[in-house]
């Protein structure tokens, strides 16, 4: 564990001049309150006690405030002149501020990473869901850590990564359980969702090194930055001040405003940046690496992004800060999540967050596409992909548009990793492949489709035309497109295992010495200027006949044509 943590906390305690306080406003006491003798009821800003027979103000004061000498305060509050016997059932107002305090606690509701805590006079240990923390506990989130604490009054405090807090006060009033909570923010940030304290005159404070604020709202953020204390109000209003200054004019931050309080000044209220806009195409994530791209805000210097399991972002699974408006995360299983994005301005203030539900459905992962890619030149179109783990079958789609509204091939239940079709005419096409597996309950589960591959189907390479002049040479010609090169092959067998000739050329024809009599097989393949190597043309079979030759090697002819050998 870091040895600097105790000294850091001591430095904070020595320099802390600020508090962020959530304080209830007084409520008028209903004049006609009734109850059974001996019972109490909360009637902010008091607790009402219904007197028993023989009760006196000093006795009531001793019983409920632990101090009999508080009876003059009760006398004034209840307009009772002296400490005498009180009629049975008389409602006695006891100011909530006089009630004694008792220990309270908080519980870890959610966490991510490996945050730790150090109880008062204890040793540092890992936090876990359900861990109960008491007054004096320090909490360290560390890198990639996150903790949400739940309090008895349903308030929630979220502590993001690289933060340190101390629960410097964690109590509640006796009889009414009115919270008395004080959080010391040493470094990093806290975000508080505080339940209304109007009904119990509770107090909730977040102390930071430089600022003091009286909070009227229930949702706010406080952060310790290099520039000072950052205050951001999302709901309600916060009155901020710096009591260490000789002359400090406090201001009220309404919802949507924030400021920076330094050692020398209380910054003016400025508008928090608006919530970012996320296109709907990112609401379904189909790859294990999820990514989001929000509309860029020219006033933003960065973005704070959280992935949570709940809309309130109390259970944050991962988070990060990004300089650009594109964000990526890994390591999540398929399911439903919420992304929370806030733009950060030049002062380091986080803006109004966007919270958006999204679904991750990336499994079973699709195979990798092999072919076709870019273009093909053949009568038949061969689709090939890699084998996916645990695949039961595959689902192939081919369309004439990238959005797959015009599907021309929709082939399901493919057991092999290839499929051939001769149904496609020349044109532009798009194809994709998905994996289908069997779930534990026996149901079929198809994963997302692969990335779309586009290809052009071009007319296949035509066969070479053979022309026999019956002279010493024979020639071949073929159709070509500008810039193509060719490979022409001649073999003595249709499988082209026994090659007679294999030659590359940029010409559109070939002239070779006449081969010996026999059967030959010819094919040609074009390579386009962009490097694409097409398929071989269909194989052409030719027959070279034996002939009688003269002394010059020319074929001996007659009026009926060339004279053959008869074989």
Using one digit for the tens of pLDDT, what is the confidence trace for 20-50? Answer: 444 433 334 434 678 999 999 988 889 999 9
Nearest to 372 by CA among 435, 421, 410: 421
Write the CATH number for 499.
2.60.40.10
pLDDT of residue 562: 45
Domain boundary among 442, 458, 474: 458
Q: Total domain count for the chain?
A: 4
Residue with more model confidence, 64 or 34:
64
Q: What's the start-to-end Cα distance of the chain, in Å?
A: 97
Say yes or no: 104 and 204 in one domain: yes
pLDDT of residue 28: 40
pLDDT at residue 383 greater than cutoff 70: yes
Quick check: is 413 in a domain? yes
Q: What average pLDDT does range 127-134 have in this prediction?
A: 97
Say yes or no: 427 and 444 in one domain: yes
**DSSP class of residue 545?**
-
pLDDT at residue 3 greater than cutoff 60: no
Q: What average pLDDT does range 68-78 have in this prediction?
A: 95
Say yes or no: 343 and 488 in one domain: no
Quick check: is 258 in a domain? no
Say yes or no: 442 and 475 in one domain: no
pLDDT of residue 378: 86
Say yes or no: 347 and 373 in one domain: no
pLDDT tens, residue by residue, 348-378 = 999 999 999 999 999 999 999 999 989 998 8
pLDDT at residue 12 greater than cutoff 90: no
- Which pair of structure tokens corresponds to residue 283? 């609401």
DSSP string, 9-62: HHHHHHH----EEEEPPP-PPPS-----TT-EEEETTEEEEEPPTT--HHHHHH
Instruction: Give the domain range for residue 349.
Output: 280-360
Percent of the chain with pLDDT over 90: 71
Say yes or no: 108 and 168 in one domain: yes
Say yes or no: 25 and 46 in one domain: yes
pLDDT tens, residue by residue, 277-291 = 999 999 999 999 999
Domain boundary among 404, 439, 458: 458
pLDDT band at 105 (very low <50, low <70, confident <90, very high): very high
Say yes or no: 62 and 181 in one domain: yes
Quick check: is 255 in a domain? no
Beta bridge partners of 221: 191, 232
Q: What average pLDDT does range 190-219 have in this prediction?
A: 79
Rounded CA-CA distance 258/238 in Å is 9
DSSP string, 467-509: EE-SSSEEEEE----TT-EEEEEEESSTT--SEEEEEEESSSE
pLDDT of residue 560: 46
Say yes or no: 442 and 484 in one domain: no
Residue with more model confidence, 554 or 485:
485
Residue located via tokens 């009180």: 86
pLDDT of residue 567: 28
Q: Of 46-50, 215-219, 455-459, which range is least confident?
A: 215-219
Residue with more model confidence, 199 or 4:
199
Question: 452: buried, middle or exposed (CB in 10 Å: 19+, 13-18, 0-12)?
Answer: middle
Say yes or no: 316 and 396 in one domain: no
Say yes or no: 454 and 474 in one domain: no
Q: What average pLDDT does range 434-451 have in this prediction?
A: 94
Domain boundary among 415, 442, 458: 458
Question: 57: buried, middle or exposed (CB in 10 Å: 19+, 13-18, 0-12)?
Answer: buried
Quick check: is 123 in a domain? yes
pLDDT of residue 478: 93
Rounded CA-CA distance 256/236 in Å is 9
Rounded CA-CA distance 395/406 in Å is 16
Torsions phi, psi of 157, nearest 5? -130, 125
What is the residue-averaged pLDDT of the chain? Answer: 89
Rounded CA-CA distance 251/134 in Å is 33
Quick check: is 313 in a domain? yes
Say yes or no: 21 and 133 in one domain: yes
Rounded CA-CA distance 438/15 in Å is 62
Quick check: is 223 in a domain? no
pLDDT tens, residue by residue, 476-490 = 999 998 999 999 999
pLDDT of residue 182: 92
pLDDT at residue 17 greater than cutoff 70: no
Rounded CA-CA distance 522/515 in Å is 13
DSSP string, 264-321: S-BPPPEEPPPPP---GGGSEE-SSSEEEEPPP-TT-SEEEEEEESSTT--SEEEEEE
Quick check: is 5 in a domain? yes
- Buried b / exposed e over 17-31, threshold 16 CB at 10 Å, is bbbbbbebeeeeeee
pLDDT tens, residue by residue, 266-321 = 999 999 999 999 999 999 999 999 999 999 999 999 999 999 999 999 999 999 99
Q: What is the pTM of this model?
A: 0.77
Quick check: is 377 in a domain? yes
Q: What average pLDDT does range 198-217 have in this prediction?
A: 75
């Amino acid at each position: 564990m870091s040895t600097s943590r105790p000294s850091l906390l001591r430095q904070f305690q020595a320099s802390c001049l600020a508090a962020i306080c959530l304080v209830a406003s007084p409520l008028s006491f209903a004049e006609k309150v009734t109850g059974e003798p001996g019972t109490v009821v909360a009637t902010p800003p008091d607790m009402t006690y219904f007197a028993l027979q023989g009760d006196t103000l000093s006795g009531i004061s001793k019983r409920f405030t632990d101090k009999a000498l508080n009876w003059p305060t009760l006398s004034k509050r209840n307009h009772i002149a002296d400490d005498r016997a009180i009629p049975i059932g008389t409602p006695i107002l006891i100011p909530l501020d006089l009630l004694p305090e008792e220990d309270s606690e908080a519980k870890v509701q959610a966490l991510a990473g490996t945050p730790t805590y150090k109880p008062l006079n204890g040793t540092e240990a890992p936090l876990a869901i359900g861990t109960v923390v008491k007054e004096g506990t320090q909490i360290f989130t560390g890198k990639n850590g996150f903790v949400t604490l739940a309090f008895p009054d349903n308030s929630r405090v979220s502590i993001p990564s690289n933060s340190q807090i101390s629960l410097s006060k964690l109590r509640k009033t006796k009889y009414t359980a009115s919270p008395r909570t004080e959080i010391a923010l040493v470094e990093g940030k806290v975000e508080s969702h505080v339940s209304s304290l109007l009904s119990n005159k509770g107090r909730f404070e977040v102390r930071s090194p430089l600022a003091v604020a009286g909070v009227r709202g229930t949702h706010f953020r406080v952060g310790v930055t290099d520039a000072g204390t950052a205050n951001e109000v999302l709901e309600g209003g916060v009155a901020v001040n710096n009591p260490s200054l000789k002359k400090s004019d406090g201001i009220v931050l309404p919802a949507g405003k924030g400021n920076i309080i330094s050692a020398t000044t209380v910054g003016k209220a400025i508008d928090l940046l608006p919530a970012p806009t996320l296109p709907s195409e990112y609401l379904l994530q189909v790859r294990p690496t999820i990514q989001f791209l929000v509309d860029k805000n020219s006033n933003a210097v960065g973005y704070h992004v959280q992935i949570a399991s709940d809309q309130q972002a109390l259970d944050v699974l991962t988070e990060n800060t990004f300089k650009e408006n594109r964000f990526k995360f890994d390591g999540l299983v398929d399911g439903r999540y919420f992304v929370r994005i806030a733009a950060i301005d030049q002062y380091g203030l986080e803006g109004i967050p966007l919270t958006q539900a999204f679904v991750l459905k990336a499994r079973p992962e699709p195979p990798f596409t092999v072919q076709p890619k870019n273009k093909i030149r053949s009568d038949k179109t061969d689709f090939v992909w890699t084998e996916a783990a645990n695949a039961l079958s595959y689902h192939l789609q081919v369309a004439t548009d990238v959005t797959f509204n015009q599907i021309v091939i929709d082939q399901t239940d493919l057991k092999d990793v290839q499929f051939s079709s001769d149904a496609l005419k020349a044109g532009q096409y798009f194809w994709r492949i998905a994996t289908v597996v069997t779930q534990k309950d026996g149901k079929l589960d198809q994963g997302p489709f692969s990335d779309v591959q586009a290809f052009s189907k071009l007319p296949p390479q035509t066969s070479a035309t053979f022309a026999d002049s019956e002279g010493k040479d024979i020639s071949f010609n073929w159709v070509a497109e500008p810039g193509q090169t060719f490979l022409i092959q001649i073999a003595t067998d249709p499988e082209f295992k026994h090659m007679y000739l294999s030659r590359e050329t940029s010409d559109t024809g070939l002239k070779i010495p006449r081969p010996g009599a026999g059967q030959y097989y010819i094919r040609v393949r074009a390579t386009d200027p962009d490097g694409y190597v097409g398929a071989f043309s269909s194989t052409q079979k030719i027959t070279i006949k034996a002939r009688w030759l003269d002394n010059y090697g020319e074929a001996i002819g007659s009026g009926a044509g060339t004279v053959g050998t008869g074989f």
